[in-house]
Structure 1
Amino acid sequence: MPGMDWDKLRIFHAVADAGSLTHAGDALRLSQSAVSRQIRALEESLGTTLFHRHARGLILTEQGELLFEATSMMAKRLDTAAARIRDSEEEVMGELRVTATVGFGSLWLAPRLAKLYDRYPDLKIDLMLEERVLDLPMREADVAIRMKEPSQADLVRKRLLNIRMRLYATTEYLDKAGRPERLEDMRNHRLICQNAHAPQVAAGAELVQMLLAQHMHSKLTVNNYFGVLQSVLNHVGVGVLPDYIIADRPHVERVLPEIESVEVPVFLAYPEELRQSRRVTAFREFIQEEILAYRKIQSGAEAVAEPDPQ
């Protein structure tokens, strides 16, 4: 029907419910004349009278009763939909778009997600692993895990942990090729690292430059840490890797423990408008629990690697 728009129906419903233009106007925060104008326009567009105007107020005509029945059903359905949306937020279901770097996302986060799904089986996670920083305020993603503090405004940001780039190799490789004792000994080993053009944290790039200055006889460069790790695990050489990768890999040893990058902070960030989202809260709490558990494993591994001098 031409001219029968949502706004007029909403105003009609309020008037029919209140039985008075004045009370409906108060509820809608509109003047009595504005309410009256909208009702007249609706009656004209329908070609009928919706209210009998009496001294004591308004009474619905037969046609008005029909329309009120329809708007009441609409109001009920909208209330139900709103309640379901709120419930779905409570139950932690629906899609959550998470962005992280390729290394952290594939090697630390993805292996831990089974626990999150055990807790919230109806969650749908879209994991976007790339070095490009996605625009959270423009809703390219809901949550980001990044290796530097996000600079965008209107973001909730939380520092999760600090990581360092270190040297690692398998026990099998070191038994065969020997364990370097000084930096110069690295010349006799194959260095595995990210190539200079791959997007990476500055701390990692600086460590690699320092090592390459030793004039390695052989090296393997890869454009992400996943490739570096696979090469290390298959005994190709000594790799430069973030420490979070190694905590649960018993056959990998740290090489030259005194050599490491400066600390790199890892941040969790999400838009201010998602602060109340149950999905985001559930994910944030899960990540914080996993970070605590990881730190315990890591401190245990470091205690074993560096025995008490007594």
Structure 2
Amino acid sequence: MDWDKLRIFHAVADAGSLTHAGDQLHLSQSAVSRQVRSLEETLNATLFHRHARGLILTEQGELLFDATRAMIKRLDAATARIRDSEDEVFGELRVTTTIGFGTLWLAPRLAKLYEKYPDLKIDLMLEERVLDLPMREADVAIRMKEPSQADLIRKRLMGVHMGLYASPEYLARTAAPASVEELSDHRLICQNINSAQVSAATYLVKELVTNDIASMLTVNNYFGVLQAVLNNLGIGVLPDYLTYDFPALVRVLPEVESVEVPVFLAYPEELRHSQRIAAFRDFVQQEIFAYRKTVKEQKIS
């Protein structure tokens, strides 16, 4: 089957429009249309329903689109491996992690990685959905639980606990609670229990709200929770790694915390020899080591 026709079909299916696909491929709309019609004739099948608002895949089109998507991902993986040099680190690296960890821990540290490898092009994808690494939705992931796929290389980075934190200004005007029951006198800031997050955080919040909390602010990510805490709105449920970059945060009721949340770095087995992956992995591990060392020193002092 003609690969050029498949490539053009895939672009049209992905864009939902002949015009938009033509723009991406630097082809005229008529040229794209001819290639799609030719492919339909070769397969003796209709691949698109055509209407005024664009194109919709038929059942046969969906089957072909699934196949071309898998082919392109495999080609991307092969291309990435070919481009990886033994001595140089360059090119695109697609990194996925949660919104909270990505915005609050990872992104602020990337300047160090770029200083060492200025030719890297990092695509940071922050979402709670677990992207499929073997299907090349991303190259490397930092996840808040151990990956389940057998064809992934995984490395445990650290453990995180969720706890209660407040700003010094808030505690200066409102006495800190001496017990969990006294949380009812404060505003609790946390993620909504129905939002996507690690189960340990959900369980902790469910336990806290049994104490007849009168006032609450819920946010769908920890960046929002942190901003509310820093602006003196109340006591927030936050991951303990934030104390490294926000040392002014005051731990409230230190005995109240979630079970440990393991943090794993993972990437596909086929990228085992990728220099880009190795550079990112080593960078993250060095930053984790520095974090652990500082935390240990703080506990000793």
2:282 to 282, 285, 289: 285
2:109 aligns to what?
112
State yes or no: 1:144 paired with 2:141.
Answer: yes
2:121 to 121, 124, 129: 124
Distance 2:237 2:299 in 1: 18
State yes or no: 1:182 paired with 2:184.
Answer: no
Q: Is the 8 A contact 2:113 2:283 kept in 1?
A: yes
1:25 aligns to what?
none
Distance 2:238 2:86 in 1: 38
Percent identity over the alignment is: 67
1:270 to 245, 256, 267: 267
State yes or no: 1:167 paired with 2:164.
Answer: yes
Pairing of 1:206-225 with structure 2 (within 5 A): 206-225=203-222
Deviation at 1:87, TM superposition (A): 6.7
Distance 2:234 2:83 in 1: 53
Q: Deviations over 1:69-100 (max 9, x none)?
A: xxxxxxxxxxxxx9xx5674531000000000
Secondary structure of 2:189's match?
A: strand
Secondary structure of 1:91's match?
A: coil
Letter in structure 2 aligned against 1:129: L
State yes or no: 1:241 paired with 2:238.
Answer: yes
Secondary structure of 1:98's match?
A: strand
Distance 1:189 1:141 in 2: 41
Q: Is the 8 A contact 2:84 2:275 kept in 1?
A: no
Q: Deviations over 1:19-75 (max 9, x none)?
A: xxxxxxxxxxxxxxxxxxxxxxxxxxxxxxxxxxxxxxxxxxxxxxxxxxxxxxxxx
Secondary structure of 2:244's match?
A: coil
Q: Is the 8 A contact 2:84 2:276 kept in 1?
A: no
Secondary structure of 1:140's match?
A: coil
- Higher-Rg structure is 1
Q: RMSD of the alignment, in Å?
A: 1.6
- How many residues get paired? 222
5+ long unaligned stretches in structure 1: 1-81, 305-310
5+ long unaligned stretches in structure 2: 1-78
Secondary structure of 2:87's match?
A: helix
Q: 1:89 to 1:95 in 2, by over 3 A?
A: farther
Distance 2:84 2:124 in 1: 24
1:56 aligns to what?
none
Distance 2:150 2:113 in 1: 29
